[in-house]
Amino acid sequence: MTVTLLVLAIALLLDRLVGDPPRLWNRVPHPVVLFGWAISALDRMFNGKRMRADTRRFNGVVAIGALLSMALIVGYVIHMLLLLLGWAGLAVEAVVVALFLAQKSLADHVGAVAEGLKTSGLEGGRQAVSMIVGRDPATLDEPAICRAAIESLAENFSDGVVAPALWYALLGLPGLLAYKMLNTADSMIGHKNAKYLEFGWAAARLDDLANWPAARLSILLIAFGAWRTEGKRAARTALDVGLRDSGLHRSPNSGWPEAAMAGALGIGLAGPRIYGGVRVDEPMINAGGRTVATTADIRRGLSVFGRACDGLASLAVTGALLAAVI
């Protein structure tokens, strides 16, 4: 456990500083892209339009089971091979873990929204936010663009940073790869539409389960980030709103970090949105907060996010020290 948490702390630092170098991934496929190829292959083979609904659901269960088994085996083999290299192998494993974290890439993408609004106005903001959210960008005014960016920042902090770090801490490289395979599958086939309602059912349900602990931990980390950047009152509000309004979100997990971030920044998030031309009516999270979000709020959110990431790294270091003493 000591070594695992130490590797995690190094990986968090690497990801924070380096992130995902575009030049590298323009030349070779990212591991998540490989996961996507495997998921797509099983989708083509076992999710036929003419299949019965119960057959598609059964096939989806078998498919996600096979994908997770493959990820666990690959993670275990890689870990065992790296152990043969001693400390050099652990350094390589830290690099591998960093590949599956999203601190810098998330901050860069969200920061690009604020920069797009600043330099290119509404169209620049819409183009930048379309890279990180699924709602129709043409329907968004500037406050809605800012809210969408902050919502994406909070949600992806949980499932792009906290969850992979947590599963690595619990189950090592096999757990990390299995989580990322599951999360990728959910994003590809976990949709509630005619094509994937049955085939993606197991992936969606398992992803909800896998993200459950990270979503709850994320509100504590966001509150810590709010305390470091906004003060004690903001931290207390982040916790209060996180606990009170998390259930207002359609997702059983995304509402936790979004509500905490809404409380930390004093703004309202979520509410009615348009996806693919369809209006989705949902209640506002932190309805008493400001609805007119600005680029300054995006910057404040990024500061909270940065300190929350510091808190996560500190937990890994503290855990490694405690495990060494015990």
**Could you read off the pLDDT of 18-60 as tens digits, one per residue?**
988 877 778 888 899 999 999 999 999 999 888 999 999 999 9
Note the pLDDT of residue 43. 96
pLDDT of residue 158: 97
> Does pLDDT of 145 surpass 70?
yes
More confident residue, 23 or 222: 222
- Whether the predicted pLDDT of 291 surpasses 90: no
Q: Report the share of the chain in percent with pLDDT over 90.
A: 82
Supply the pLDDT for residue 2.
Answer: 86
What's the confidence (pLDDT) of residue 270? 85
pLDDT of residue 326: 75
Is residue 174 within 8 A of residue 122, CB to CB? The reply is: no
pLDDT digits (tens, 9 = 90+) for 197-221: 999 999 999 999 999 999 999 999 9
Q: What is the mean pLDDT of residues 143-157?
A: 95
